[in-house]
Every structure is written in C-alpha cells, then in structure tokens.
C-alpha cells in the first residue's frame, strides 16, 4: 500500500468510526425489534449519519486535529446513548416493588452518568491543549466501532435469511368458477376490538348502540364470535390462508413472525382467489410490520400523512437524555398515531376508486382500539402519557384501571368513526350494487392478559382476549352461511362460497393460545376455557 493510499484509509477510518458509533444504537434497536419495517429505520440512520458528520466537523475544528476530533465525537455518541443502559436500565433493574431500593439505584445510575458526562467534558477541554495527535487511540476506537456495527448488521442479515424459507403454505393454483357477482369487498380489521359482552363485563361499556347501528345498516353481527389465535400475526395468517397455521411450536418467535408475514399474509390465498375473479387488491398500509407494506398489492395507499414519528424513532430518542422531555415526545407520538388512524379511515372511503375499472378488494388493518391509547372518546388527544410502544396486555402503564379507561375511550371513538366510514362507502353505491363490508377483529382486548405466558393469565382475561367483533354486510347468498359462533378462519370461506360457489366449506372453529417470545409454544384451548367464569374477579 502506498503512502497516499495509507493516508486515505486513515482519513476514511476517522470518519467511519464516528458514523458507526452514531449508527450503532439504531441498528442495535432494529436488531432487537426485527418486526419494524426497514423503511421505518432508514430515516433514523440517515439523520444519525448526518449528525455524526456535523458533530465531527465541529469537534475537529475545536480540537484542531482530525484524530482528536474523531475520538471526541465517538466518545460523545457513546456517552449520549449510554443514558439508556446506565440510567434507565441499571436504575430500575431488580428494584421493582421496593421504593427505597429503586430510589437508591436511580440515584447511583444518575451519578454514574453524570460522571461519564464530566469525564467526557474534561477530555474535550483537554484535547484542545493536548500535544500529540492521539492517532493510535483514535484509530483503534474507530476500528472497534466499525467492527461492532458490522457484527450487529451481520446478525440482522443472518436472522433475515433464516426467516425466509419456503412458504409454510404454498399458494394454491386452484382455478375457481368465474360465475357469480363481483361486488367490491372491503375488510376493516380493528385490532384488539372485543365482543359486546366482553366490553360490557370487563370494560364497563355498553356497545349495544353501535351493534344496533350496524344491524340497521344491514350487517350480520356474530354475537358469539371468537378468535382463532391470541396474537395478530397468527390470526391474520390463518384468516388469509383459509386454514389453521401449521404446527410451529419450537420455532423462534421473530423467525416465525417473518415467515408467516411473507408466506401466509402478504402473498395469500384469499387475494389469489379474488384475483382469479378479476379483482385488484388495494392495501391500506398500517404502522404494524405485518400489514405496513405489501409488495403483492396492486395498489397501496399510505397509512400516514405529513410527519410520521413512530415507535422506533421515539424509542431511539428516549434512550438519550432527551428522555427527560418524555412527556413532550409522548404527545408528539400520540399526534402522529392518531393521524395514521384518521388517514387510514379517510383512504377507506375512496380506496375502491384506485382499482377501477376492476372490482376492488380493499384491506385495512387499523391498530385501534389496541394500545397505544391515543384517542379520547371524542377523537381528541387522550392525554395518556405512556411509552411509545405497541405492547399490549398485563403490565401496561396505568395498570388495569388505566388500560380499561384508555381502551374504552378508543372503542367509543372508533364506533362513531367506523359508522361514518361505512356510510361514506355505501353512499358511493346504488342499492342494487352494494359492496361486501367485513368489520372484524383479530383478537380481543388485553386487560390483564399476559401475552408472553397466556396460561398464567386469569381465566376471565383469556375469555376477554378470545371474544371478538365480527360483522358482515353482504348479499343474502353470503349471509345465509354466516353463524353466531364463527371464527376468522371461516370468514372468507363463507364469503367466497356465497359469492362464487367456490365450495371451500367450513373448518371446525377452534381457538389456540400461543406464547410470544423465545421458542413459540401453541396449544388448543379447551371449550371450558372459552366460557366466561363468573366466579373470577376483575
């Protein structure tokens, strides 16, 4: 290597090191949350890279040395993002339930972090007056930073490769009878929306007015509908594949979710069958990785407008000292989350136009009333300060009372907004050309439900998780096949048989409990587990 090449490599390393140090927290967070769409991560990576270069230029000018400036920049980002593991993690670890211990650990963590900041500040002052270039220290630090980032990227790539085997269920090549009507079909999945009896008993909300309004508009409401699975990705995979998920016990949770997303949800049997009838698939994107993007859609409508600061970005910001301004961040997160839902609802009203002249199949997965609780009953800001996360179930911020209040507010908001969307859709059709509209849920609410260990949940919480909303507006040839205890795995079987005489038939209605993390375990729920045990308190 020539002297010129060596100098170029050295200069490149002194830029790559600071950029790698700045990018590592985002890459690490993405590695821990692989369900986050990559497109959601790229803006954060871009901002951090630009910020790293800007800080590097400032410190190089201040220290009057490229090597000392690079070292100061790497230490700056290391200290900046050390706030999360030092203050937030160490300050709370092992002290839950003991106020004195929690306060002591929080004090120690804060002092440790202050010491890190003081040490870095002293180093920054020293670098301006220090003699020597500190070239070895800067180069070694840069190499370590680049290597650490490379390892994190390699881990992500390895898991991504492992998560894309051959499909769990191969797409069917069945040709169906092309006779029958071809009405537009809308399917609105309201994530976590519970059945009326569950809402009344567990959430102290009488949903009779909403159910009656649906029935007055011609919907068939299955008052005893229940979920096939306790989790979104399993429920939607089963529904779209027209079958139960194969035995996947023992698979790693993240790998399984990626498999099902790509082989049973995005490229699915329902869309294939509808396409064979001439339909075009319109997907309205959501904030959930499962339904955020579908490359197999004929048309994809955005689920957001304007600034879209989501869970990933805020989780990253809150790992820094900006966590002290969390309430302002939470308010911004609630605003963008509300905007996403409202945008999806607006797009639903006009989505079918984008499929013309073909009949439209429109699908929207709305992450509501599922947490985060961002809507008050009137659609305004709920004002509920909670970390920006889609986590559900027991342990939610505010406890059971807070969950009940937040969930109930979102149900009330959704009721009015969904009815408005239905009316807007129906107004676009003549009485003899009405579309099929399915309004359903993937699973019920998560009040005191232990997502990671379902069997440890109270009986009433599992009952509440199973009871779901299921309402269908369709021609008589479809509605006569509907029944009160139907589950999502049979929804499209009834609709497609009724519209096109596909002769899919019905599967037995079964419900399953599945764990969330580690090696997934799934077992079928017994009939007694699906009945409300009135002897339990909630």
Average pLDDT per consecutive 10 residues, the chain (538 residues; last block may be shorter): 58 87 85 65 86 89 85 86 73 56 71 80 74 75 87 76 46 45 95 97 97 98 96 94 88 78 84 95 86 86 58 70 67 85 94 94 95 94 81 80 95 98 96 94 95 89 96 96 97 97 96 86 81 58
Structure token pair of residue 239: 């529904």
Asked: is 185-530 a CATH 3.40.50.300 domain? The reply is: no
Q: What is the rounded end-to-end Cα distance, in angstroms, of the chain? A: 73
pLDDT of 4 reads: 53
Expressed in percent and rounded to 5, the helix, strand and coil fractions of the chain are 55, 10, 35
| Alpha-carbon span 500 to 244, nearest angstrom | 22
pLDDT of 178 reads: 46
- Strands (E) in 317-414, as ranges, are 360-366
- SS3 label, residue 471: strand
Q: How far is CA 159 from CA 150, 259, 452, in A?
A: 14, 11, 21
Domain boundaries, the chain: 3-162, 185-530
CA angle 534, 536, 538 (to 5 degrees): 105
- SS3 label, residue 519: strand
Q: Tokens 């090449």 — which residue?
A: 5
């Amino acid at each position: 290597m020539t002297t010129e090449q060596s100098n170029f490599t050295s200069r490149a390393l002194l830029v790559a090191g600071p950029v790698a140090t700045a990018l590592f927290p985002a890459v690490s967070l993405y590695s821990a949350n692989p369900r986050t769409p990559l497109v959601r991560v790229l803006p954060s990576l871009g901002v951090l890279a630009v910020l790293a270069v800007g800080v590097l230029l400032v410190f190089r000018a201040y220290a009057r040395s490229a090597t000392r400036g690079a070292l100061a920049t790497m230490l700056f980002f290391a200290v900046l993002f050390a706030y999360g593991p030092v203050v937030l993690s160490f300050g709370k670890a092992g002290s839950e339930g003991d106020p004195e211990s929690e306060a002591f650990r929080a004090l120690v963590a804060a002092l440790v972090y202050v010491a890190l900041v003081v040490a870095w500040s002293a180093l920054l002052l020293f670098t301006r007056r220090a003699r020597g270039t500190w070239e070895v220290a800067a180069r070694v630090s840069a190499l370590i930073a680049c290597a650490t980032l490379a390892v994190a990227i390699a881990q992500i790539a390895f898991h991504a490769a492992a998560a894309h085997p051959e499909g769990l269920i191969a797409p069917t090549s069945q040709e169906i009878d092309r006779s029958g009507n071809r009405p537009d079909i809308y399917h609105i999945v309201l994530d976590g929306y519970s059945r009326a009896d569950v809402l009344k008993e567990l959430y102290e909300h009488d949903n009779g007015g909403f159910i009656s309004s649906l029935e007055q508009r011609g919907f068939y409401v299955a008052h005893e509908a229940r979920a096939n699975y306790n989790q979104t990705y399993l429920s939607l995979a089963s529904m779209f594949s027209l079958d139960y998920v194969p035995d996947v016990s023992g698979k790693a949770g993240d790998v399984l979710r990626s498999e099902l997303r790509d082989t049973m949800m995005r490229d699915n049997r329902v869309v294939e069958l509808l396409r064979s009838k001439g339909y075009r698939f319109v997907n309205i994107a959501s904030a959930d990785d499962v339904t955020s993007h579908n490359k197999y859609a004929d048309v994809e409508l955005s689920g957001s407008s304007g600034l879209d600061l989501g869970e990933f970005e805020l989780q990253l910001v809150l790992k820094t000292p900006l966590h002290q301004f969390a309430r302002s961040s939470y308010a911004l997160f609630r605003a963008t989350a509300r905007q996403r839902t409202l945008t999806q609802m607006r797009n639903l009203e006009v989505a079918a136009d984008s499929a013309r002249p073909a009949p439209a199949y429109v699908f929207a997965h709305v992450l509501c009333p599922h947490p985060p609780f961002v809507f008050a009953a009137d659609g305004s800001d709920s004002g509920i300060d909670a970390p920006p996360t889609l986590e559900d179930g027991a342990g939610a911020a505010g406890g059971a009372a807070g969950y009940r209040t937040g969930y109930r507010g979102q149900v009330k908001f959704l009721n009015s907004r969904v009815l408005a969307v239905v009316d807007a859709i129906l107004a676009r059709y003549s009485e003899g050309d009405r579309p099929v509209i399915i309004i359903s849920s993937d699973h019920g609410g998560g009040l005191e439900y232990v997502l990671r260990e379902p069997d440890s949940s109270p009986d009433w919480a599992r009952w509440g998780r199973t009871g779901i909303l299921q309402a269908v507006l369709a021609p008589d040839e479809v509605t006569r096949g509907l029944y009160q205890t139907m589950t999502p795995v049979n929804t499209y079987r009834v609709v497609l048989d009724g519209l096109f005489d596909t002769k899919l038939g019905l599967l037995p209605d079964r419900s399953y409990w599945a764990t969330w993390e580690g090696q997934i375990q799934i077992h079928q729920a017994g009939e007694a587990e699906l009945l409300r045990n009135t002897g339990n308190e909630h």
